[in-house]
Structure 1
């Protein structure tokens, strides 16, 4: 070691000298050894703040020595990882209620199951008691006379080891002397107890006998036949462990994961919390290797299901971008979500308050999901047959169970899926013909005017009644203000927005309503099976606040429904399996993070019962209006006259005509209007005319007739010409008056 020369006359008393920390100074020196052995950080240089780096001068990027931080910074960093004091399921009143309800019902079922089989268990104990008595006596004899040591003593005899045999014999004699007294005392005690019981009342004797038989029955139980049956058979589900998770992630063939594991198999995949039970499944919180995102894993959900040996409907990976893009929350359920039926609480509700949201379904963990509806607009999209209309049914049922809600429903495919709620609507139409499209376009025009009216009405309210300039429950209850909730539903809205005549203006009106109506109590719910720029204007898809996307074909459709970059961020409705995952979709905007949700299922009878309760409530409170009272508002947009067209193709000589014949004649009369009707096949063509006549109060009936080209006669659905004539006559009289 060399030392610098120090002049003793310079600073003899040490004043103005710098104190050097040797450890820090040594850490700042260049490391010994050849350049290839030095850490890479030693070669990194930056220009100092007061000038460029001089030749030969090295300024370290990473400061030497341990990082020094303020104690408050350390505490704040630790605080970010605080575990919740109150369990997550207790933070939500509905979730806590559901959990406690499930636990109560579970143990109530177990108790009832076992009590119902108490006589069976008693019989088993009685049958097994003789074997138990034999086991008891035999065990007492073996213990008393130390027969379990007999093989050891015999082994000493066979080995001719007298010393060991004498030792064992003496030990056996001492044991037997003590045990004979213990056994004798036990037998005397039992005899005395039997004499005492013999002098007791009959019920005491039977109780003692039952206890004795039960004890002997338990002793006589076969090892392979339990006494009590299981009330709940546990699912044969493998417990999720870190090794299983790592094995599954490795099997995905993601380059970033495999490379990280190859370099550092222990810390490549980091578990930030213990794997725990979370509802009916297991939850693992994982930090993926650097550069690997949650989207990479979600793309291979099917391969992960294979690696975990679980059905695809049990595997639900999701991300937590609030932390970072590599934080994976892997939830593995016990049951396949696709085979789970979610029952709606609306089936038993006598009424509902839309200001509290609408119970929509549940997530994979069985937690109820409520969709807020006031101050929101909703967009639902999917491929055909994936449960889109069923989701609309749930929202419509929840909204119309609130008697203050004014419902406008437009079902633009003509199947009648929402017909049960027709009786409660202010405006209602079902059909795919131009008349139905025009009716829906009229509704958006009227709704735009209503938004403008409400804007002025809300502005005129005093600040103490409406401080936030938003419709509240209290304001909605004041019917005279005309600010009650108004929910407009358009199912298969692509038929409206893509219409060559009405689509352009309808799209402009819808965008205006979405942007301004939410604070005024106006809610627009749109559903489409064709999410593209022609069928769903971008101004609409970009401004809705809540989106529910079931299975779609690709990234473009996914982002049209769920929002720009949803696919890139791992929110991909393309992962759902056609038909198997029907009713399952991504819900965005209703919860803090996007969630996979299975919507509740309401069949037609259940929907009809809800609609009937809503109708009775509205009738009682006097909130029925418009279509629900039988009123037929005139269309704003001029359209063809369907009734006049029917009279034009059905002469007075034909009192009754089949629907299919009328549709063919209408197509010849106005091909641009009725040609789509004639293109329908079988019963769909007949049903189309029936649906088109419903708004006029005209019902179809069974009609005897023959095909126009000749053939065998038959009874089929048709019209009565006089019904058309009478309806037109009444309409003209009303117009004249």
Structure 2
């Protein structure tokens, strides 16, 4: 760079500085002279740096964008993530009630525990009161004789400091005289008060005063290593979680790119329910999944039990945000989780069903309608017990039709046989054939429902999916929940497996919006016993303890293991009932399911049966009908036979109101509540249209919608021809 270029650069800098200072010129002659003097000795390194910064622009020196302040939004006006005013556990009604109940129960237990032992406590105090008297007298004597000053006086003697010793001795004499007088006055006052109380108080009052004095002396005389009161509950509470512990544990994982000082905590570590919550920003390039897949090593680094350490990501902010929750106790050792509906209440299938709790003790509820479920685990890990929660919840809505298939033969779902439209329990070929037939019937049912839903008016069904309103219209679009437990025995069957897999895949893909819910549970999740078309299309998955990565991803979805969602880390038997729930919440969550043993499930089934009797919704197997060859579509066609049976003699056209009233008299459990709209919706898929029917009433012709008998007879004939051809 030549000298002219340097002068030009300094002239531009001088002009800019003058403009920034409001027009006042800055004299740079001295600066130039100093620069020129330094050039010969140092080669002008500062000029070369300035030239390098400016060589790519013609508009002056570049402005660093991070230092710009003009036009920026103030920090307090920028969007920010607000912390909840009320903790999560206090905002969740079920969790709050559970916390209050636990506190009340612990308080009541502690009160009863100590009440029983109160005579022992009194005896201990009485035995320690002489020791307290000795302590009191001895302490008063030491105070009166200035025993606390003795070490200092001994020190002056060792130092042979006569002047200091004399000063301390005079000070001691003054203290002893004053304190002796005070102690004598206190003794006289105490004696007088004792005589007064002896004269004034009754025997009972004197006994109370004496008892109180004994309590005080006993408490004063208690040994430091022997507490008076026995603990009602021995708690093993882990120490408070600190940032140093978290940082040291993360560094011990040995992840590349993570060094000391690069781990930050955007929020302070705080108590969150029965544990501690730490929010961590990991170093750049390190994700929360990297930590989640090393959960065991993280627990080792924290020196905590594995069942207390639960890392998860917060991708709403960024992939490097880690939320680490560390509990006070192992989730597997917190006792059984009660189900809120076990003792009373009913359920609406269109609302979320209580399913269990997460590691923080917060209740977790799951949706049923418009979803399909896949449960998987090794044997004995609580899979069937988790499925039982769905069965019990669905049974408490009397409008839900239950199809239960338990292809293990152990009778795990026998409690709900009295409320099931279709039911089988067994592993033999006949039971497998029954389950395969159910899937074939469900496929036809899905097609039938699709035709009905398509014909519904737009104002009733704008989204083309079954709602509570449509389910209550009794047009055959109620919710149907089909459970297939141990489905690997069905899909791997050499005769029925292939077709059953195709039917199940069709139902999962199409039936979701039509009120058909399929729940599959397996203890052998592989491509032979669980077709990929099924595992890849279910919307909600619950995976308990599994053996390896393949089984993990078959249940939870491809790459779940890679992303740190690993059900392989659960401990056999110890973590029974604990699994990863994916699809029901915004992120995969560890959930411990509510526990329902056989007696509790039986009690729920009894309530469900009473509800269904009152609602008139006991059908199929529960009603004693043989459903092994029943076709839901054919059952819907029974309406045609019922119309023929109640058709008024001599009439070719009849008002819809007249027909629905007669149908309700014929079969109250089926047709009660039907109106002209419901009749039209069911007949329309069968090609039967309504017509205007005129009747003369009070001398006037009244036109209303109705049905022609010829159309009904034509539909019956076509149905019979199709059956014969089949």
Shift of 1:571: 1.9
Shift of 1:428: 0.3
User: Does residue 374 of structure 2 align to residue 374 of structure 1?
Assistant: no
State which of 585, 603, 606 in structure 2 corresponds to 1:609: 603
Contact 1:270 1:287 in 2 (8 A): yes
State which of 487, 499, 502 in structure 1 corresponds to 2:481: 487
Separation (CA, whole Å) in 1 of partners of 2:100 and 2:45: 64
Contact 1:412 1:495 in 2 (8 A): yes
Shift of 1:132: 0.9
1:387–1:558: structure 2 CA closer, same or farther, 3 Å change rule? same
1:490–1:58: structure 2 CA closer, same or farther, 3 Å change rule? farther
1:38–1:446: structure 2 CA closer, same or farther, 3 Å change rule? farther
Counterpart in the other structure of 2:389 = 394
Contact 1:287 1:328 in 2 (8 A): yes
Counterpart in the other structure of 1:522 = 516
State which of 254, 274, 277 in structure 2 corresponds to 1:280: 274
- How many aligned positions are there? 606
1:184–1:504: structure 2 CA closer, same or farther, 3 Å change rule? same
Counterpart in the other structure of 1:193 = 193
State which of 256, 265, 269 in structure 2 corresponds to 1:271: 265
Counterpart in the other structure of 1:245 = 246
Contact 2:269 2:278 in 1 (8 A): yes
Shift of 1:57: 8.2
Pairs within 5 Å for 1:169-188: 169-188=169-188
Pairs within 5 Å for 1:621-700: 621-635=615-629
Show structure 1 runs of 5+ residues with no match.
27-31, 46-52, 638-737
Shift of 1:548: 0.6
Separation (CA, whole Å) in 2 of partners of 1:196 and 1:461: 96
Separation (CA, whole Å) in 1 of partners of 2:102 and 2:501: 46
Separation (CA, whole Å) in 2 of partners of 1:383 and 1:408: 24
Counterpart in the other structure of 1:222 = 223
61-70 or 85-94: which moved more? 61-70
Counterpart in the other structure of 2:124 = 124
1:380–1:186: structure 2 CA closer, same or farther, 3 Å change rule? same
Pairs within 5 Å for 1:315-394: 315-345=309-339, 346-349=341-344, 351-394=346-389
Contact 1:299 1:575 in 2 (8 A): no
Counterpart in the other structure of 1:50 = none
Counterpart in the other structure of 1:699 = none
Separation (CA, whole Å) in 2 of partners of 1:82 and 1:603: 42
Shift of 1:492: 2.0
Counterpart in the other structure of 1:448 = 443
User: Does residue 426 of structure 2 align to residue 431 of structure 1?
Assistant: yes
CA deviations 1:559-590 (Å, max 9, x no partner) are 33223333333222233344443322110121
Separation (CA, whole Å) in 1 of partners of 2:241 and 2:215: 40
Shift of 1:215: 0.9
Shift of 1:379: 1.2
Separation (CA, whole Å) in 2 of partners of 1:6 and 1:431: 94
Shift of 1:153: 4.3
1:623–1:193: structure 2 CA closer, same or farther, 3 Å change rule? farther
Separation (CA, whole Å) in 2 of partners of 1:37 and 1:555: 60
Shift of 1:225: 1.4
Separation (CA, whole Å) in 1 of partners of 2:560 and 2:550: 10
Shift of 1:274: 1.6
Provide the TM-score with structure 2 as the length reference.
0.74
RMSD of the TM alignment (CA)? 3.9
Separation (CA, whole Å) in 2 of partners of 1:222 and 1:39: 80
State which of 297, 301, 315 in structure 2 corresponds to 1:303: 297
Counterpart in the other structure of 1:204 = 205
Shift of 1:19: 7.2
Counterpart in the other structure of 2:95 = 95
Provide the TM-score with structure 1 as the length reference.
0.73
User: Does residue 584 of structure 2 align to residue 584 of structure 1?
Assistant: no
Shift of 1:314: 2.2
State which of 552, 567, 572 in structure 2 corresponds to 1:573: 567
Shift of 1:138: 1.8
Contact 2:95 2:361 in 1 (8 A): no
CA deviations 1:593-630 (Å, max 9, x no partner) are 11011223333343333333433443454432211122
Contact 2:237 2:329 in 1 (8 A): no
1:136–1:537: structure 2 CA closer, same or farther, 3 Å change rule? same
Separation (CA, whole Å) in 2 of partners of 1:92 and 1:561: 29
Show structure 2 runs of 5+ residues with no match.
32-38, 632-726
User: Does residue 400 of structure 2 align to residue 405 of structure 1?
Assistant: yes
Shift of 1:133: 1.2
